[in-house]
Amino acid sequence: MNPATLTLTGLRAAYAAGDLSPAEVLTSLAAEIESRDPAIGGYLSHDLELALADAKTADLSKPLGGVPIAIKDLINVKGHPCSCASKILHGKYTSPYDATVIRKLREAGAIPFGRTNMDEFAMGSSNENSGIHPCRNPHDPERIPGGSSGGSAAVVAAHTAIAALGTDTGGSIRQPASHCGIVGLKPTYGRVSRYGLVAFASSLDQCGPMTKTVADAAAMLEVISGACDRDSTCLDAPVPRYTEEIGKEIRGLRIGLPAEYFAAGLDPAVRERVEAAVKSLESLGAEIVPVSLPNTAHAVATYYIIATAEASSNLARFDGVRYGHRAQADDLIGMYGKTRDEGFGEEVKRRIILGTYVLSSGYYDAYYLRAQKVRTLIRRDFEQAFAKVDLIASPVSPVPPFKLGEKHSDPLAMYLADIYTISANLAGICGISVPCGTVTVEGKDLPVGLQLLGKPFGEAELIRAAHAYEVTRG
Amino acid sequence: MKIRQVAALARLELTDEEASRYEEQVGQILHYVEQLKAIDVTGIEPTAHAGALFDVVREDLVTGGGLTREEALSNAPMVAQDQFRLPKVVE
């Protein structure tokens, strides 16, 4: 048996049966990574020695005891590099501390192993903005894995990881999960601590599990959720036993279908798969209810003002003073400008410029403040929909994964493909992508994801419905 | 948009080629987001974040647990006398 092909739950069972040791699992994972990852590019680095040292003290009686977890390269793990796939940090930064999610994973016995590729500073939907090397979709290496957590999705799909952590600011967990055929869960804003995540857009960022099954996602979410005294936006709400939702019935659950998410621009083959998945949910006893999210058309514009504004502020910390790259210059201002021009990639600079502009004097009201007001309208759309339904079902991405380079010269076209995922971040609600079949494009079977969106702190219903669907799908 | 002026605010020293490319691309994005101007937002409160609307407070005590000086300096490009070293600011 190749342990790398196991699910997290399967690996735990193998440990319980005494069939495997964490050191054996790590060693065989490392061999898989070395032989197969070069063709995918899902990892930026991995350190077997560090992981084996952690494995020595891993307590197998804990919920995630001995489970290696691949970590998106913007989450700080003490003693590991953290580059955010940016030249401004790559090879120049070793984390001096653990993020809260890492502390919680460690306390549950998990072993952080491997740094996964991503769009630089999480800015992108294709992983083509990695400043280090491209990442490819394991189902068709000519195609993108999605982004920004493209590496985390690709390594789970390729079985060069058991499970991974990703982050989602506008769909960056759900969209690559959909494109790579795995499960990705974006928790409610405030469910999981952001302490130790390199911030992109602080009012939108959340960290969540990317796994082979819904049960695996539930097990990880149960561990990483909960209050944190270093993130004041992380709520002290009780953490339900998400793993107990596995296997529960969904009879009577009301699932909304938003007309705006099944409109023009949706690939017909993707639509067919998603509608078939909704039929399956209905056959399990869920009640399907039409709902409307009338401000959907404004979500992309709203998001790209708010996210870039927050990013321009957050990325001010990369100035060549405390960490990372520093360019040579005679004076301080010159050093800042040159360091940032040399260190940041194209998409990051483009977003910093846009974000700086919409916050600048004379434009703040017209762009940023207006976008915040439209955000209120988008949030209200969901509040009204969730007064009628428990969950909302939709596609994740309007199109199957495209080829590397196909859309790279047109940033706006790329942004528009985020239409079904970004509203959840603006509204602060939770969402999951669960595989719902494939579409055949140029002779290759490419995965399609079903998105389920839940009320704030409604992860339990999300997991229950996603698992019920997963079982029916087979 | 005055691209050089915005880049200066963002402390980005752009090449001429970058400046003209970003000016065009950011211009296209700004054109797209103009659609928000057609929405009636009269009386609508802005949403700054989607979290629950209350403050988290704790006892006003030193809790410790931060980085040591050595850890804080461990990734610095230049260090002198246990401090971050910068190019000269004052003549």
d(CA A13, CA A279): 33
Q: Tens digit of pLDDT for each residue in A77-131?
A: 999 999 999 999 999 999 999 999 999 999 999 999 999 999 999 999 999 999 9
Six-digit token pair at A223? 């561990």
Size (chain B), residues: 91
What does the pLDDT average to over B82-86?
95
Q: Is the pLDDT of residue B3 over 70?
A: yes
| Amino acid, res. A413 | A
Distance set, CA A443 to CA A136, A139, A267, A439, A453 (Å): 17, 11, 17, 10, 32
DSSP state of A141: T
Orientation of helix A22-36 relative to helix A48-56, angle to 10°? 170
Give the gap in angstroms from C-alpha B59 to the nearest C-alpha of chain A.
11
Q: Tens digit of pLDDT for each residue in A9-49?
A: 999 999 999 999 999 999 999 999 999 999 999 999 999 99
Residue listed under structure tokens 């009320």: A455
Q: Which of A89, A353, A364, A375 to mutate to test the interface with B (most CBs of B within 10 A)?
A: A353
d(CA A296, CA A317): 33
From edge to edge, which strands make up the β-sheet containing A391-395?
A43-45, A111-116, A68-72, A163-168, A206-211, A183-186, A430-441, A444-454, A391-395, A254-258, A287-291
Q: In this structure, are residues A117 and A132 in contact, taking their beta carbons and an 8 Å threshold?
A: yes
pLDDT at B53: 61
pLDDT at A377: 98
For chain A, the domains span 3-245
Q: What is the mean pLDDT of chain A?
A: 97
Q: Is the pLDDT of residue A236 over 90?
A: no
Q: In this structure, are residues A63 and A15 in contact, taking their beta carbons and an 8 Å threshold?
A: no
Among the listed residues A83, A86, A148, A152, the single catalytic one is A148
Q: What is the pTM of this model?
A: 0.97
Q: Tens digit of pLDDT for each residue in A246-305?
A: 999 999 999 999 999 999 899 999 999 999 999 999 999 999 999 999 999 999 999 999
What is the CA B84 to chain-centroid distance, rounded? 21
Q: DSSP of A335-367, one letter per residue?
A: HHHHHHHHHS-HHHHHHHHHHHHHHSTTTTIII
| Number of neighbours of residue B36 by Cβ within 10 angstroms | 18
The values of phi and psi at residue A371, to 5°, are -60, -40
A94, A350, A415 ranked by CB distance to B26: nearest: A350
A203, A232, A322 ranked by CB distance to B75: nearest: A322
Q: For A3-245, CATH number?
A: 3.90.1300.10
DSSP state of A368: I
Q: Is the pLDDT of residue A410 over 90?
A: no
- Residue ranges of alpha helices (H) inside A158-200 are 174-180
What does the pLDDT average to over A405-434?
93
What does the pLDDT average to over B24-32?
94
Contact B37 A366 (CB under 8 A): yes
pLDDT at B16: 95
pLDDT at B90: 78
- Residue ranges of alpha helices (H) inside A65-171 are 100-107, 150-157
Minimum Cα–Cα distance from B22: chain A residue: A350
State the DSSP H helix or E strand holding residue A165, giving kind and residue range, or none if neither.
strand A163-168
pLDDT at B54: 66
Is A196 buried (19+), middle (13-18) or exposed (0-12) by CB count in 10 A? buried
ipTM field: 0.95
Using alpha carbons, select from A46, A37, A115 the residue that is nearest to residue A83: A115
Q: How confident is the model at residue B11 (pLDDT cuts 50, 70, 90)?
A: very high
Q: Tens digit of pLDDT for each residue in A306-344?
A: 999 999 999 999 999 999 999 999 999 999 999 999 999
Minimum Cα–Cα distance from B54: chain A residue: A233
pLDDT at A95: 98
Contact B51 A233 (CB under 8 A): yes
Q: How confident is the model at residue B41 (pLDDT cuts 50, 70, 90)?
A: very high
The values of phi and psi at residue A354, to 5°, are -60, -45
pLDDT at A96: 97
Listed by number, the residues of chain A in 311-350 with a beta carbon closer than 8 Å to a beta carbon of chain B are: 312, 316, 319-326, 329-338, 340-341, 344, 349-350
**Taking phi first (over 0 means left), then psi (-120 to 50 degrees means alpha), and beta for anything else, what does residue A63 get?**
alpha
- Residue ranges of alpha helices (H) inside A48-99 are 48-56
Q: How confident is the model at residue B88 (pLDDT cuts 50, 70, 90)?
A: confident
pLDDT at B82: 96
Q: Is the pLDDT of residue A411 over 90?
A: no
pLDDT at A413: 84
Q: Is A172 a catalytic residue?
A: yes
Q: Tens digit of pLDDT for each residue in A433-474?
A: 999 999 999 999 999 999 999 999 999 999 999 999 999 998
Q: Is the pLDDT of residue B1 over 80?
A: no
Q: What is the mean pLDDT of chain B?
A: 91
Six-digit token pair at A381? 């759309």
First to last CA, chain B: 34
Task: Show contacts of A358-367: CB within 8 Å, 24+ apart.
Answer: A358/A305, A358/A308, A358/A309, A359/A309, A359/A312, A359/A313, A360/B6, A360/B9, A366/B37, A367/A305, A367/B33, A367/B36
Instruction: Collapse the DSSP code of A419 into the 3-class scheme (helix H, G, I; strand E, B; otherwise coil) and give the result.
Output: coil
Distance set, CA A470 to CA A57, A428, A440 (Å): 35, 25, 21
Among the listed residues A152, A172, A312, A423, the single catalytic one is A172
Q: Tens digit of pLDDT for each residue in A211-222?
A: 999 999 999 999
Q: Which of B15, B28, B29, B88 to mutate to test the interface with A (most CBs of A within 10 A)?
A: B29
Using alpha carbons, select from A311, A401, A400 the residue that is nearest to residue A359: A311
A381 touches chain B (CB under 8 A): no
Six-digit token pair at B32? 């797209």
A232 touches chain B (CB under 8 A): yes
What does the pLDDT average to over A178-206?
97
Q: Is the pLDDT of residue A422 over 70?
A: yes
From chain A, pick out residues whose CB is under 8 angstroms from the CB of B72.
96, 322
Instruction: Collapse the DSSP code of A97 into the 3-class scheme (helix H, G, I; strand E, B; otherwise coil) and give the result.
Output: coil
Q: In this structure, are residues A311 and A351 in contact, taking their beta carbons and an 8 Å threshold?
A: yes
- Please name each of the domains of chain B with its CATH number: 1-39 (1.10.20)
pLDDT at A388: 98
Instruction: Collapse the DSSP code of A32 into the 3-class scheme (helix H, G, I; strand E, B; otherwise coil) and give the result.
Output: helix
Half-sphere exposure of B17 (CA within 13 A, CB side): 2
Prior bond to A148 cis, omega within 30?
Answer: yes
pLDDT at B39: 97
Distance set, CA A427 to CA A84, A186, A300, B16 (Å): 26, 12, 13, 39
- Residue ranges of alpha helices (H) inside A181-264 are 214-224
